[in-house]
């Protein structure tokens, strides 16, 4: 790989500078350090645990430490610090004694699990007493699981909102998997990040334009095709026809894509004229004929106040193409006509849109959403307050419960001792100080001494993360 992301593939360089000297800072005769990861709270009451497997496979599985990498790191850290701080002896021991496989044990709750905050989600401990310093060296990397977790969580809660409105205003929730489409590729920070975030959204949905998510889900979760999309216009393919040519541009879309779903952005000049006249009169017969072959035209407004514009567009289209009333008493456009709102969509704005539609007696069946920046980017580590802390150690052969309890912020108090995570009838409980029953621990060993012990399929992850409303309906 000529230009690897981050400039190198040397895992020894993927940590915070201060950690390089931490091997010199633990008490003498420390033989075990055990740390855990949790969401301490935040925007959403529960967190979808997702993405650890990506990090393990990308960075930690296999003989990842070599003498060459140690030498490269020693050289770099000598220049970075201006003194010898890097644990050459410790890392060389790992190459010589463990053939470069990391002597760590990582336990984690199954991927896709939806766990209320303040519960342990994963634990890391060293398996070789000489490598006590190794546990927290990779904290930096482990904590980066905040990103796929938080994207999956934000997406999950939007799924819940859409499902609620479908349940209230549509004949079924069957269309749910395609109701929130990922528009976020360009707003992501890098190709790697967009692949991770795009994949995280697909834990909950099946619609995406973030192609990078497909290869990421395939490589790291064995999913052959994690998401789907359809032919869709962008402004340039409409505006190049000129303002006078907009009807021709629309007709071209209907002609070139005579079957299946096709989306056409229609707000280049005047969305109301586009719906009233171009779609509603000039091209009406073509749309209906296309519909007789199962074609569906998806009209896309892309500006205006979302809750208002959506109802305005639906009202015009309803007047022009007619509507039926479904089993819940709400209006539905003909099956060959739908709309998609991809502007200004986020967890905060989906409800007002669907609520206004409901108020005007429109079923949620009529609409799909596209979300970009809010879906993949408007999150950070504090959204769910993700943290990694040491809770247990063995020093001079004595077990020690390790914790922090800052008088200046008790919200940052950390858990003590060996932790287990139990789940009985959907109730999750973290048991501290080694008082839990290991047999009831829902966290399983996914990584040990460089080997991946559990390889989750994307289907398993999706099943674990399925929302209750859908689970209830599947049981019936």
In the bound complex, which residue of the shown chain has the CB atom lying closest to ligand AOY? Answer: 263
Could you tell me the smallest distance in angstroms from the CB atom of residue 84 to ligand AOY? 49
Choice between 122 and 233, CB closer to ligand AOY: 233
Choice between 300 and 389, CB closer to ligand AOY: 300
Could you tell me the smallest distance in angstroms from the CB atom of residue 475 to ligand AOY? 32
Could you tell me the smallest distance in angstroms from the CB atom of residue 331 to ligand AOY? 22
Q: Which residues bind ligand AOY (CB under 6 A)?
A: 181, 183, 209, 229-230, 232, 263, 298, 300, 340, 342, 370
CA distance linking residue 134 with residue 99, whole number of Å: 15
Which residues are within 8 A (CB) of 4 and not within 5 positions of it... i.e. 6 or more apart?
none
Choice between 236 and 408, CB closer to ligand AOY: 236
Could you tell me the smallest distance in angstroms from the CB atom of residue 350 to ligand AOY? 16
Could you tell me the smallest distance in angstroms from the CB atom of residue 182 to ligand AOY? 8
Could you tell me the smallest distance in angstroms from the CB atom of residue 171 to ligand AOY? 23
For 146-163, b/e burial (b = at least 16 CB within 10 A) is: bbbbbbbbbbbbbbebbb
Choice between 183 and 447, CB closer to ligand AOY: 183
Could you tell me the smallest distance in angstroms from the CB atom of residue 301 to ligand AOY? 11
Could you tell me the smallest distance in angstroms from the CB atom of residue 229 to ligand AOY? 5
Choice between 74 and 338, CB closer to ligand AOY: 338
Choice between 196 and 394, CB closer to ligand AOY: 196
Could you tell me the smallest distance in angstroms from the CB atom of residue 422 to ligand AOY? 42
Choice between 48 and 374, CB closer to ligand AOY: 374
Could you tell me the smallest distance in angstroms from the CB atom of residue 62 to ligand AOY? 35
- 3-state SS of the chain is CCCCHHHCCCHHHCCCHHHHHHHHCCCCCEEEEEEEEEECCCCCCEEECCCHHHHHHHHHCCCCCCHHHHHHHHHHHHHHHCCCCCCHHHHHHHHHHHCCCCCEEEEECCCCCEEECCCEEEEEEECCHHHHHHHHHHHHHHHCCHHHHHHHHHHHHHHHHHHHHHHHHCCCCCCHHHCEEECCHHHCCCHHHHHHHHHHHCCCCCEECCCHHHHHHHHHHCCCCCCECCCECCHHHHHCCCHHHHHHHHHHHHHHCCCCEEEEECCCCCHHHHHHHHHHHHCHHHHHHHHHCCCEEEEECCCCCHHHHHHHHHHHHHHHHCCEECCCCCEECCCCEEEEECCCCCHHHHHHHHHHHHHCCECHHHEEEEECHHHHCCCCCCCCCEEEEEEEEEECCEEEECCCCCCCCHHHCCCCCCCEEEEECCEEEEECCCCCCHHHCCCEEEEECCEECCCCCHHHHHHHCCCHHHHHHHHC
């Amino acid at each position: 790989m000529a230009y690897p992301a981050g400039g190198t593939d040397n895992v020894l360089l993927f940590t915070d500078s201060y950690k390089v000297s931490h091997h010199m800072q633990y008490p003498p005769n420390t033989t075990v350090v055990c740390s855990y990861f949790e969401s301490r709270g935040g925007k959403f009451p529960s967190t979808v645990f997702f993405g650890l497997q990506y990090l393990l496979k990308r960075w930690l599985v296999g003989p990842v430490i070599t003498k060459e990498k140690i030498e490269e790191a020693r050289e770099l850290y000598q220049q970075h610090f201006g003194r010898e701080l890097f644990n050459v002896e410790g890392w060389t021991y790992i190459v010589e004694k463990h053939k470069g496989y990391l002597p760590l044990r990582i336990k984690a709750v199954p991927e896709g699990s939806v766990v209320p905050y303040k519960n342990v989600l994963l634990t890391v401990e060293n398996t070789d007493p000489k490598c006590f310093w190794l546990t927290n060296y990779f904290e930096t990397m482990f904590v980066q699981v905040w990103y796929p977790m938080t994207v999956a969580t934000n997406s999950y809660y939007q799924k819940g909102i859409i499902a609620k409105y479908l349940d209230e205003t549509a004949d079924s929730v069957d269309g749910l998997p395609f109701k929130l489409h990922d528009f976020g590729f360009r707003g992501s920070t890098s190709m790697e990040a967009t692949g991770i975030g795009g994949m995280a959204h697909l834990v909950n949905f099946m619609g995406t334009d973030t192609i990078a998510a497909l290869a990421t889900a395939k490589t790291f979760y064995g999913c052959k095709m994690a998401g789907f999309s359809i032919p869709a216009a962008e402004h340039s393919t409409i505006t190049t026809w000129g303002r006078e040519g907009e009807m021709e541009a629309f007709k071209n879309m209907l002609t070139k894509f005579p079957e299946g779903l096709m989306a056409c952005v229609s707000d280049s000049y005047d969305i109301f004229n586009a719906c009233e006249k171009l779609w509603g009169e000039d091209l009406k017969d073509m749309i209906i004929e296309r519909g007789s072959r199962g074609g569906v035209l998806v009209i896309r407004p892309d500006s205006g106040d979302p809750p208002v514009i959506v109802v305005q567009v639906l009202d015009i289209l309803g007047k022009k193409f007619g509507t039926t009333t479904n089993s819940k008493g709400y209006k539905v456009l003909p099956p060959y006509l739908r709309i998609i709102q991809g502007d200004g969509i986020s967890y905060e704005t989906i409800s007002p849109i669907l609520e206004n539609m409901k108020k005007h007696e429109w079923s949620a069946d009529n609409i799909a959403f596209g979300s970009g920046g809010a879906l993949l980017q408007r999150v950070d580590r504090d959204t769910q307050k993700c943290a990694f802390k040491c809770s247990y150690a063995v020093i001079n052969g004595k077990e020690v419960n390790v914790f922090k309890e800052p008088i200046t912020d008790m919200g940052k108090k950390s858990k003590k001792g060996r932790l287990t995570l139990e789940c009985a009838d959907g109730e999750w409980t973290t048991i501290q100080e080694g008082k839990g029953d290991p047999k009831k621990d829902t966290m399983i060993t996914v990584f040990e001494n460089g080997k991946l012990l559990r390889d989750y399929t994307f289907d398993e992850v999706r099943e674990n993360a399925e929302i209750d409303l859908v689970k209830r309906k599947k049981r019936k």
